[in-house]
Structure 1
Amino acid sequence: MTQVRTRFAPSPTGFIHLGNIRSALYPWVFARASKGVFILRIEDTDVERSSQEAVDVILESMQWLGLDVDEGPFYQMQRMDRYKAAVQEMLDKGLAYPCYMSTTELDALREAQMAAKQKPRYDGTWRPEAGKTLPPVPVGVRPVIRFKNPIGGSVAWDDKVKGRIEISNDELDDLVISRPASEGADSIVGTPTYNFCVVIDDLDMAITHVIRGDDHVNNTPRQINILRALGQEPPVYAHLPTVLNAEGEKMSKRHGAKAVTEYRDEGYLADAVVNYLARLGWSHGDDEIFSRQQLIEWFNLDHLGKSAGQFDEAKLRWVAQQHMKTTADGELAPLVLAQWSKRGVTVPAALTDGELLPRMCALFKDRCATTVELADWLAMYVADVQPSADELAGQITDTVRPAVAALRERLSTVTWDKAAIAAALKETLAQFSLKMPQLAIPVRLLVCGRSQTPSVDAVLELFERENVLKRLQLT
């Protein structure tokens, strides 16, 4: 049985957003599910628009999401000699030919075709055929190289998303596979074009499954014909529907999409983003929340969605919350430390190791979608708090003030654990005939800086006693 080999082949011409990275997730998980090989290929032939910065963001994004690569990254610009040799091989075999039609002539041809209500396409002027006399070669003109597309018949494939697709060969003109060579070059082969480089890469890398965006569907029949001309059968294709933004437009930087690395910086868990992205175009029954391992066990190409997925930030946050709840506290603790480190927070030694910070994470993680939010909640344990003066004035009444003082006195001597703190609260409530909110809200404001927290006894237990007593001191 042939080993599955998939690839992700981004162009480093701008930052990579969630819509782009989904085209990496599916071939990655399919390779993992099939015990196959996942290859990264950087298609950097657009020299003017490609940048190392964009490459770095692609690599960072994949590393953060855990989309590990088995082979690569390969860079197309480093493989130019191979592509040029392949073009020359096609010339030698009569599978391609030089075309001397100028841009001006080509434009005039297209205008005439459109005026005649015909599809604009190259008319084969320079295509060599038996018994055909070609025009004289113009002096000093460097030709493009065109692929001899089959005449008649059709090219068809069974797309794993779109089903059977069949295109008449007569709809396809002879594709330019190499631009003109520079003046004085030894060969007529110039710079090979994107569509040709892709075919040679897929051939050389023995790609078995091409899983990519459906903006490439129009390239596929041409690529299949070139592969077959070279004596190879095409891989399995799966063309994924577009990812739309919240407004129903194609996700893009121009339409407000964020770089994948921004979600990392905002504190989303990588597994949550992988879970959300997977569900943007694939399903396993009604399962909404699943682990990375479950995704690998369940994934196949038969359940890819046929309609466009729509990005929904609220849904992403919900998925992220579910993952926060199930992530081990010991895994969250270093992520919180990393957030504090970015903010320049000095962290007490007691929180850098041991069980205290994981216990804090356990208490507050249900309230959070991101580690940034968790670090915000837990900041009360490592920095001074600034409760609202208006809230304090409304809560610290003449009735409550002596109760706070009495509670502080009790907390100065009790065993420092949740049960003893709870008992001290109850005794104080009974002593002053108060209900829990009348005392708990002022205590939360003074100690935590906010009026809503988990159970007061559980929250206070995780503070150092001296910190609590200091914050409960009413002047």
Structure 2
Amino acid sequence: MTQKIRTRIAPSPTGFLHLGTARTALYSWAYARHYGGDFVLRVEDTDVARSTQDSVDQILESMHWLGLEYDEGPIYQMQRLERYKQVLDQLIAEGKAYYCYSTPEELDAVREAKKARGEKTLYDGRWRPAPGRTLPPVPEGVKPVVRFCNPPDGDVTWNDLVKGPITISNREIDDLIIARTDGIPTYNFAVVVDDWDMTISHVFRGDEHINNTPWQINMFNALGAPLPQFGHCPVILGDDGQKLSKRRGAVSVTAYEEGGYLPEAMLNYLARLGWSHGDDELFTREQLVDWFDGSHLNKSPAQWDPVKLLWVNAQYIKQADNQRLAALVAQQLVKLGITLQPDVVENHLPQLCALLKDRCDTTVVLAQWAAKFYGDVTPDATELAQHVTEAVRPAVATLKEKLSACAWDKASISAAIKEVLAIHSLKMPQLAMPVRVLVMGAAQTPSLDSVLEICGREKVIARLGVA
């Protein structure tokens, strides 16, 4: 490619970073990185009534957590109002935009009348200048909006990076409002000026924007600006088959961070939710960048599958560095009321993570297991009754005695357990299950000798004493 690749993500700070927007950001980032281009973060904050600083902060935090580093930004639209006004004035001066004084009540009446006649409820163009046409007198006290002179005839066609060729007739769209009565630009106008000024070459976005694209292409053409290439990705569907959205049960990206997911797992899952590279299910960030050339994007909607996401996360937890996991688990333990000393997080907790991580699919679950080693354990009454019977109590007492005196390492603990089995003529499960329930509060754990070793002599002896 001779043109410098420049992509962007442009979230609206009216809530959390939606999963669909995060996926679009990922595709835009990966495409720019694949071709050695730039990735721009723009904050579309012209919806002043609904935009908040908390939302901006959450968006930036989500981008940082996912590792989607941007080369420029964040660029805020509300800091570019003078530029929008300059372009608006240019369009009005060239007869490509005009002031419209129709009141909301007048527009509603026009729409209702058209609907009653079975016509499309498009704006009737009553304030659009035309040769030989006399416009209505300007009403007093009415602040106008600015409308774009959309071509009345012809078609808009583009070769979509995802959908392929798309054609929409100009007769299907009307003269769009591009500035409100307060002078604040609307989405479709501001995005065109921004993409033009920022020399954006490729635009990936959700396919709910397909109907906006003809207006935007016509505005690019009216300004004599180069057109970016558009790629409209299908929506993500929730469990109910409906579009996943801020208003329909979607969870923020940061909620997954708090829920114990690793960013590389979320990135991997989001990438596969609408794109594929053969049968590869798991891949690194570097592989994604190497493979993501804009092809193999799905044309059909993707289904959000929380079970599959958990599986992906579990695979990454198994591969994760134990020191890194320890730091994450320590944060989760604080939420459980357990604060560890730095030396424990540095030295003991990584060993524990290594022992437990193969059976955990989030760091929350890993922390719940770790809490059994650092906090109090109350065995379930049902499991106590089932496993810690009168018949096995003498063996538990003997094990307590042997463990009080043996060296505290895995081999010595294992030897003590085998000695007790021989003394009481028991099989391993007959002793292991009640010991696990007493020490860990659960009948299923990793290997018993490993659990006892890492739990520590003092805790093990104290908990076996309950029997």
TM-score, normalised relative to structure 1: 0.93
| Matching residue of 1:441 | 433
CA distance in 2, matches of 1:62, 1:36: 18
| Matching residue of 1:75 | 76
1:421 and 2:413 aligned: yes
Q: CA deviation at 1:376?
A: 0.7
Letter in 2 for 1:471: R
Q: 2:277 aligns with which of 280, 284, 289?
A: 284
1:389 and 2:381 aligned: yes
CA distance in 1, matches of 2:78, 2:121: 31
1:203 and 2:196 aligned: yes
Deviation per CA, 1:342-395: give whole Å up to 9, x if none: 3331425652223x3222111111111111100111112211211123422332
| Matching residue of 1:318 | 311
| Matching residue of 1:267 | 260
| Matching residue of 2:403 | 411
- Sort the Cα spacing of 1:406 and 1:101 in 2 relative to 1 into closer, same or farther, 3 A: closer
Deviation per CA, 1:16-64: give whole Å up to 9, x if none: 3323322222112222222221111111111112222222221222222
1:220 and 2:221 aligned: no
Choose 96-105 or 231-240, whichever is displaced more: 96-105
SS at match of 1:25: helix
CA distance in 2, matches of 1:393, 1:39: 62
Residues 243 and 310 in structure 1, CA contact (< 8 A), matched pair in contact too: yes
| Matching residue of 1:130 | 131
Letter in 1 for 2:93: D
CA distance in 2, matches of 1:391, 1:122: 71
| Matching residue of 2:394 | 402
| Matching residue of 1:121 | 122
- Sort the Cα spacing of 1:193 and 1:430 in 2 relative to 1 into closer, same or farther, 3 A: same
Equivalent residue runs for 1:139-158 within 5 Å: 139-158=140-159
Q: CA deviation at 1:225?
A: 0.7
SS at match of 1:2: coil
| Matching residue of 2:172 | 171
Deviation per CA, 1:44-95: give whole Å up to 9, x if none: 1111122222222212222222222221111111211111111001112222
Q: 1:231 aligns with which of 217, 221, 224?
A: 224
Equivalent residue runs for 1:14-33 within 5 Å: 14-33=15-34
| Matching residue of 1:8 | 9
Q: 1:295 aligns with which of 257, 281, 288?
A: 288
Q: CA deviation at 1:15?
A: 2.6
1:334 and 2:327 aligned: yes
CA distance in 2, matches of 1:383, 1:100: 69
Deviation per CA, 1:104-139: give whole Å up to 9, x if none: 443333333333332222233333333444444445
CA distance in 2, matches of 1:373, 1:418: 25
Q: 1:372 aligns with which of 364, 372, 378?
A: 364
Deviation per CA, 1:383-429: give whole Å up to 9, x if none: 12111234223323333222122222222232322122111111211
CA distance in 2, matches of 1:18, 1:132: 49
Q: CA deviation at 1:165?
A: 0.6
Unaligned runs of 5+ in 2: none
Residues 405 and 474 in structure 1, CA contact (< 8 A), matched pair in contact too: no
Letter in 1 for 2:374: V
Residues 323 and 346 in structure 2, CA contact (< 8 A), matched pair in contact too: no
- Sort the Cα spacing of 1:346 and 1:58 in 2 relative to 1 into closer, same or farther, 3 A: closer
CA distance in 1, matches of 2:148, 2:283: 47
CA distance in 2, matches of 1:348, 1:178: 57
Letter in 1 for 2:369: W
Letter in 1 for 2:144: P
Residues 348 and 382 in structure 1, CA contact (< 8 A), matched pair in contact too: no
| Matching residue of 2:424 | 432
> Kindly, what percent of the aligned residue pairs are identical?
57
Equivalent residue runs for 1:44-55 within 5 Å: 44-55=45-56
- Sort the Cα spacing of 1:467 and 1:237 in 2 relative to 1 into closer, same or farther, 3 A: same
Task: Report how many aligned residue pairs link the two structures.
Answer: 466
Equivalent residue runs for 1:342-357 within 5 Å: 342-347=335-340, 350-354=343-347, 356-357=348-349
Q: CA deviation at 1:435?
A: 0.5
TM-score, normalised relative to structure 2: 0.94
Q: 2:455 aligns with which of 430, 454, 463?
A: 463
Choose 133-142 or 202-211, whichever is displaced more: 133-142
Unaligned runs of 5+ in 1: 182-189
Residues 5 and 39 in structure 1, CA contact (< 8 A), matched pair in contact too: yes
SS at match of 1:164: strand
4+ long deviations beyond 6 Å = none
Deviation per CA, 1:229-268: give whole Å up to 9, x if none: 1111210111111111101111134432222221111111
SS at match of 2:184: strand
